[in-house]
């Protein structure tokens, strides 16, 4: 019998009411190229942004060399790749280890040792081993048949695939998935449920929240700090500053946070109680964000590339399958700085909101615990200045889930947003 783990994903917002996704938060198809329709809301004096503020657009980091290596391998020769501390491991399938070793050796010579330390596992390290090609085929099959099999989502782990079942799924449903799956290396999880934190926090957590003092300074809106939904109500966490590219010449600078729990046009406040702008929410497949443009009068609050704990970020990077078990750091306004690792990548999952269901691709599962108010918090590769995602939910003792930033800043994201530093 497979080990069953229950995962309850709690939307990490300070709220005492049920979460609602408003119908007007879903954007019309005509606005997909400029999803925030900010051109109608640009200030008249946009060009008069403070001359003392000279933010710039952050760059996307190139793929890591180990990612390039793994993508060049024959998918029938290896099962998975993952991080083990500072060592990058590749697990071959039985009988194909020599081919993987040869490919790694050639790559190391060609890249002048820019690769991390790489270990090619013995074939039996993970027990039953399916090739990456077989895992990919099983992943596609389960997603194609998710409704019939009562599956909410599927992702990649080191040992095989993670399968998230829908609410109410039974042991018989899981057995049916295992029987239908092209591979048997499956790890089952209960549904990822989006609920009101007031319904899900136990008494210990409630007591903890009642005693929380805002950790941000009076006017700080650095990445990882609080944003407020009223002048006195902490709500979510600043992800990073961002710039909206308006046409070919205009730019609108602002800050990014998670979208759920906010409503378009709602005032957004700093911890000082000062209104800094209004919410521009986009909640659609693969995107759960709120971009808050800063008016010229508020550009002195521009956060720059400094994190709440004094660290910095200089670029963003897409997540890859090769980031399995990579060490990361999250920055939540409530929980602070926490370290952990990536447990599941490329989760395709359907989230059920009050106004409908939305499909999300490439959601990432970690072992970091997050608590109410951490939603929107930035996630970085540990001991780097590379930001990779924003927290969308989780539980105090873990796990947590984050949305990779390629859904926000990527070339195909359709947001016209760029990381600002």
Convert the pLDDT of each residue in 317-376 to its tens digit. 999 999 999 999 999 999 999 999 999 999 998 877 655 678 899 999 999 998 888 999
- The model's pTM is 0.82
Distance CA 301, CA 298 (A): 6
Residues 266-273 have a mean pLDDT of 88
Cα distances (angstroms) measured from residue 174 to each of 150, 165, 169, 184, 411: 9, 8, 7, 12, 38
For the residues 108-119, what does the mean pLDDT come to?
81
d(CA 174, CA 350): 18
Question: Which stretch of 33-37, 196-200, 222-226 has the lowest confidence by average pLDDT?
Answer: 196-200
Per the structure block, which two tokens stand in for 133?
Answer: 């090609």
pLDDT at 56: 73
171-180 and 132-144 helices, crossing angle to 10°: 130
The pLDDT tens digits of the residues spanning 397-408 come to 778 899 999 999
Closest of 421, 413, 363, 415 to residue 9, by C-alpha: 363
Kindly report, residue by residue over 4-27, the tens digit of the pLDDT: 444 444 444 433 232 323 333 333
CA of residue 397 relative to chain centroid, distance: 18
Mean pLDDT check: name the lowest of 121-130, 154-163, 171-180: 121-130
62/77 Cα distance (integer angstroms) = 26
pLDDT of the residue at 58: 77
Where residue 111 falls among pLDDT bands split at 50, 70, 90? Answer: low
Task: Say how many Å lie between the first and final Cα of the chain, rounded.
Answer: 50
Predicted local confidence at residue 330, as pLDDT: 95
Q: Are 137 and 172 in contact (CB under 8 A)?
A: no
pLDDT band at 309 (very low <50, low <70, confident <90, very high): confident
- Region 129-135: mean pLDDT is 93
Predicted pLDDT of residue 382: 96
CA distance 415 to 358: 17
Residue 248's pLDDT band (boundaries 50, 70, 90)? low
Mean pLDDT of the chain: 79
Q: What is the pLDDT of residues 22-31, one digit of tens each?
A: 333 333 333 3
Over residues 216-243, mean pLDDT: 80
């Amino acid at each position: 019998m497979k080990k069953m783990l229950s995962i309850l994903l709690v939307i990490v917002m300070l709220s005492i009411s049920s979460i609602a996704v408003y119908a007007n938060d879903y954007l019309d198809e005509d606005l997909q190229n400029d999803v925030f329709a900010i051109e109608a809301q640009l200030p008249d004096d946009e060009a008069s942004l403070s001359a003392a503020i000279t933010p710039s657009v952050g760059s996307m980091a190139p793929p890591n060399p180990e990612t390039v290596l793994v993508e060049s391998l024959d998918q029938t020769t290896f099962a998975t790749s993952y991080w083990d501390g500072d060592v990058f491991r590749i697990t071959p399938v039985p009988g194909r280890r020599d081919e993987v070793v040869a490919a790694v050796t050639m790559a190391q010579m060609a890249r002048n040792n820019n690769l991390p330390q790489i270990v090619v596992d013995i074939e039996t390290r993970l027990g039953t081993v399916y090739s990456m090609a077989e895992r990919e085929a099983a992943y596609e099959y389960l997603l194609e048949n998710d409704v019939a099999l009562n599956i909410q989502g599927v992702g990649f782990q080191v040992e095989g695939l993670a399968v998230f079942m829908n609410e109410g799924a039974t042991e018989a449903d899981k057995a049916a998935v295992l029987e239908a799956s092209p591979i048997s290396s499956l790890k089952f999880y209960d549904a990822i449920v989006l609920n009101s934190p007031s319904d899900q926090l136990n008494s210990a957590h409630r007591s903890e929240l009642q005693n929380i003092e805002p950790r941000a300074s009076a006017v700080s809106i650095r990445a990882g700090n609080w944003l407020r939904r009223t002048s006195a109500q902490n709500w979510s966490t600043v992800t990073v500053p961002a710039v909206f590219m308006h046409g070919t010449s205009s730019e609108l600078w602002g800050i990014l946070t998670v979208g759920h729990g906010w409503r378009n046009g709602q005032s957004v406040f700093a911890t000082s109680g000062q209104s800094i702008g209004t919410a521009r929410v986009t909640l659609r497949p693969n995107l759960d964000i709120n971009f808050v443009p800063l008016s010229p009068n508020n550009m002195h609050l521009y956060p720059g590339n400094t994190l709440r704990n004094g660290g910095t970020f200089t670029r963003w990077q897409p997540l890859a399958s090769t980031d399995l078990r990579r060490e990361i750091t999250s920055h939540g306004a409530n929980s602070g700085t926490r370290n952990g690792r990536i447990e599941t990548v490329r989760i395709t999952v359907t989230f059920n909101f009050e106004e409908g269901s939305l499909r999300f691709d490439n959601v990432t599962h970690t072992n970091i615990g997050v608590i109410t108010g951490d939603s929107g918090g930035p996630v970085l590769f540990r001991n780097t200045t590379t930001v990779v995602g924003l927290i969308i939910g989780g539980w105090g003792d873990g796990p947590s889930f984050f949305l990779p930033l390629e859904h926000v800043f990527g070339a195909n994201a359709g947001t016209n947003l760029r990381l600002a530093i």
